[in-house]
Amino acid sequence: MPVDLCCPVTILIYLISLVTGLAMFFKAGAVIELQRRFYEKINWRIEPISMAREVRNTKLMGLLLSLAAPLAIFYILNLR
């Protein structure tokens, strides 16, 4: 039984997940820098051992998140 589209929170979470995933995929370096700056503000210093691996892994996570978000919203709205 499909869920009504009156679930704005579900759609908002979907959109945030999709935008975040796409940002991670297309702007991996900026996302890594944002994370690094956040951790410095809470008194932690992080740096990757291999920046190339970190960028690759960030892009992979972004791609997976970008694929998982539409699948999750499809499941929530149609198959549940």
- Give the residue carrying structure tokens 């992080």: 46
pLDDT in tens, 10-68: 788 889 999 999 999 999 999 999 999 999 999 999 888 999 999 999 999 999 999 99
Could you state, in order of their start, the residue ranges of all structural domains in the chain? 8-79
| Among 49, 52, 47, 45, residue whose Cα is nearest residue 28 | 52
pTM over 0.85: no
Per-residue pLDDT, 25: 96
Distance from C-alpha of 36 to C-alpha of 45, rounded to nearest angstrom: 7
Question: H-helix or E-strand containing 21?
Answer: helix 8-26
